[in-house]
Amino acid sequence: MDLLLRLAVTVLTVPLVDYPKSLACIHRIYEQDEKNGAATILECCVHYYHLAGIDEELVRKINNINATNTYVNSIKGLILSWHFAVTDKEKQVEMLRQAIALDPNNVESYIQLGRIFIDQGNVIEGRSLIKKALENIKLVYDKNTILDFSDFNEYLNQKVRGIHLSNENKKIIERMLL
């Protein structure tokens, strides 16, 4: 299963970006373990970043991940916030707050919550959250940094938690404060 997960992550990277192949790998993982939490998290990421978003079936799957780990539960909260961004803004804010409470280093949760506050006219609170996001970035890499693009945890740190970012992506966040 580890090799299938690595392949599912690898085919999502540029220049491949083959999300149908990634989903095929995820479904092969489900054939062996239908409640595989890593596969469910990655499936949600594929749908959020590349397809139509998080539907009710994915919400059910993410809610069925039985995790005692606060890190995993924080990621669940962030993923649920992606779903509620379309259906229920108050619930989205609640999920982001929960994700931050469980993992205070989750850069992406701070950014999304900050954007919501800015959009609602609460610029001071929004900017404060975005500053907190910047403080939580643990690794900034440049074009010469060599990464393992098959590593699921590195994928989470880059795409989901946002604690590992390219220099360009960090600059994008910094521009939100201008």
pLDDT of res. 137: 95
Structure token pair of residue 4: 């299938």
The domain that holds 110 is classified in CATH as 1.25.40
pLDDT of res. 4: 96
Domains in the chain, number: 1
pLDDT of res. 142: 84
In a domain, 109, yes or no: yes
pLDDT of res. 169: 92
The average confidence (pLDDT) of the chain is 95
- The 10s digit of each residue's pLDDT in 124-160 is 999 999 999 999 999 998 888 888 999 999 999 999 9
pLDDT of res. 146: 87
Residue 1 has pLDDT above 90, yes or no: no
Residue 84 burial (CB count, 10 A): 18
- The 10s digit of each residue's pLDDT in 115-131 is 999 999 999 999 999 99
In a domain, 37, yes or no: no
Domain residues for the domain of 113 are 99-178
List beta partners, residue 71. none
In a domain, 143, yes or no: yes
Residues 83, 132: Cα–Cα separation, whole Å = 24
In the chain, alpha helices (H):
2-10, 19-32, 37-50, 56-63, 70-87, 89-102, 107-119, 123-135, 152-155, 167-175
In a domain, 160, yes or no: yes
pLDDT of res. 52: 87
- The 10s digit of each residue's pLDDT in 58-90 is 999 999 999 999 999 999 999 999 999 999 999
Contact criterion met (CB below 8 Å) for 96 and 113? yes
Residue 173 has pLDDT above 90, yes or no: yes
In a domain, 26, yes or no: no
In a domain, 171, yes or no: yes
In a domain, 172, yes or no: yes
Q: What is the model's pTM?
A: 0.93
Contact criterion met (CB below 8 Å) for 151 and 9? yes
